[in-house]
Structure 1
């Protein structure tokens, strides 16, 4: 086994050079990993890029395993990758919601009260007010960022980490692609996906909200450094809505 790393929810090791084995870091993440083993076998054939399709190794303790998705984090994505990701998300967001719900997907409530209590910054309430009435009618990845979009030799090779998949606002998946990537990537992505002005504005709301989760996670885990980095990101994105590339 080769240790691959850990995220907020799970740890991963590479087994035999082929399988990625994941275990929950907290008890409440176990059902989330098991849900992926039900949703992803159905969803994967609908998508134009490779994604993890985990199977259950053990239910107690929870252990799941899937084929290694090739590639690594894309350092400087360009137009080709932008078009690929736009086509990928267009396919994902077209997935039948009723079938996803039947397989265990559902809405994901935001911790708005914790946001208010733990992230008290000028302009914060105005941002939180924009969350009221956002649509929740699409199968979304829910945590799409550079660490979860893989590539090699100038093209994308896969998308990973579907633990936060839920029924939500399509714009949440557009936030990074539109507001934290090089212009040529963002433009190609927007054209391939069919981004409207309304979608772009909602994506900016989600982009600005991203660091708020870092503050909450840092507070919950006692990681003061993460909380401080998150707060700096909150202030930066409220100021201009665009983080450095």
Structure 2
């Protein structure tokens, strides 16, 4: 079991990574803003890890210029079996994560709500400027309504910020850890439930919701974040000059928008 996802293999959007001595994952930022997030992880995860029911990376700085951080390998492979038992484990993990004290999380490096809301507003404005005009005219109203609803979502819990199956590990058929906390911040807990409730197979999703105790309003808000997911692929494709990624992202945007 290597615990290496695509990001660890060096093809991630944010970091280059390699396995060292079969035990350590060494990460190097691809861009300056990613370095800030990696340093945040080195502070936050030391405090957060003991409060969570599953193993997570606890990185430390190996070298500052150029930045290199390293953490002990979290055992497992990318989650591919989505049964009720795994859903319950992830639901319990997210419940514990979202129950941590957000003020303490900020003191240990997590971006505060005001910063997350400011970044959210800038991202949504960018989506409105660059993605909405690429959509068919008859879908732009629904797209703009989605963006307005996301901007209005609350921000009051520590969240992972990028939770999908590629960041949930399993070993011997059991969920064994959660990785990649570079996007952690004080934000909307529904963001972390977006894929788990609306992109995962039904038995897994039901188990997550039941174990977490997800209220209907939270489930509905998670759907907003799920619908927003492909928008990031569109802008990434635009930024990197990748028309295939832009087309794939637009297909996802249209598939998830309500009729």
TM-score computed with the length of structure 1 as normaliser: 0.94
1:97 to 97, 102, 109: 102
Structure 1 pair 239/76, CA: closer, same or farther in 2 (3 Å)?
A: farther
CA distance in 2, matches of 1:132, 1:234: 17
- CA root-mean-square deviation: 1.3
Unaligned ranges ≥5, structure 1 = 241-245
2:242 to 223, 227, 235: 223
Q: Which residue of 2 aligns with 1:162?
A: 181
Report whether the alignment pairs 1:56 with 2:61: yes
Per-residue deviation, residues 172-209 of structure 1 (Å, max 9, x unmatched) = 00000001111111111111000111001000000000
Per-residue deviation, residues 207-238 of structure 1 (Å, max 9, x unmatched) = 00000011111111212221111111000000
CA distance in 2, matches of 1:61, 1:74: 32
1:173 to 182, 187, 192: 192
Where do 1:196-215 residues align within 5 Å? 196-215=215-234
> Which structure's residues are more often helix, by fraction?
2
CA distance in 2, matches of 1:73, 1:27: 27
1:27 to 29, 32, 57: 32
SS at match of 1:66: strand
Aligned 8 A contact 1:80 1:154 in 2:
no
TM-score computed with the length of structure 2 as normaliser: 0.89
CA distance in 2, matches of 1:61, 1:132: 35
Structure 1 moving runs of 4+ over 4 Å: none
